[in-house]
Amino acid sequence: MQPHHEFIVIEGNIGAGKSSLATRISESFQSRLILEEFEDNSFLPKFYDDPRRFAFPLEMSFLAARFKQLKRDLLTEDLFKPCIVSDYMFAKCLLFSRVNLDEDEYDLYLKLFDIINLQLRQPDLIIYLHNPIEKLQWNIANRGRSYEQNISNEYLQNLHEAYMNYWHTLSHIPIVIINCSAIDFVNNQNDYDNMLAMISKPYTSGIHYINWLKTDD
């Protein structure tokens, strides 16, 4: 199965399964894979302990790291793997900073983001994995990152709203919002096959909602 889009981004809230799905999709498409490099960010555990103090350095560090990684990986050509699958988009910086920063910090951050964003290739297709808060919290607890264990429901809801508001500002990129509340594309092969088939379709610009309610095992 071959995709109709060359640069596919898998997005979603914390714990949505972005990396797991992007990895499997890249294997199925035999495409290049870009996974966000965040484990070594020393500000991340500090932010969860003291969000107000470390929000701005955290967001600045992510801005620099994501730009460096995407500029490197997107400029690298592979004639045998023309398709690229990533588990994040650069605009993720904008959405998290909108939630985490105060107005003055965000205004400064936005100016820097706009300058940098112009230098990067934009996705041809965005897949947004929508999950209820309860499922996100279950996934977060089970993957066992200690610094994530106190993430509040309110914070996850604010991030979800930031994503949904942002989708309505994009008119030139296809955005597929998939309701994943009743599916398990990691452990259930049938669910994954259905997900792969949906991502493989050609999509026009605009928002496409898929309310996927599982009916079988």
Task: Strands of the chain (E only): list them.
Answer: 7-12, 32-34, 84-86, 125-130, 174-179, 206-210
Dihedral of CA 165/168/170/174: which sign?
positive
85 within domain boundaries: yes
Q: Are 22 and 35 within 8 A, CB to CB?
A: yes
> Whose CA is closest to 66, among 24, 103, 27, 94?
94
First CA to last CA across the chain, in angstroms? 23
Are residues 183 and 21 in contact, defined by beta-carbon separation less than 8 angstroms? no
**In a domain? residue 178:** yes
Backbone angles phi, psi at 68, to 5 degrees: -60, -45
| Residue 194 covered by a domain | yes
Which CATH number does the domain housing residue 95 bear?
3.40.50.300
DSSP assignment string, 19-67: HHHHHHHHHHHT-EEE----TT-THHHHHHH-HHHHHHHHHHHHHHHHH
Domain count, the chain: 1
Range of the domain at 146: 7-210
Contact 46, 54 (CB under 8 A): yes
Per-residue confidence of the chain (217 residues) as pLDDT tens digits? 678 899 999 999 999 999 999 999 999 999 999 999 876 788 998 999 999 999 999 999 999 999 999 999 998 777 667 899 999 999 999 999 999 999 999 999 999 999 999 999 999 999 999 999 999 999 999 988 888 999 999 999 999 999 999 999 998 999 999 999 999 999 999 999 999 999 999 999 999 999 865 544 4
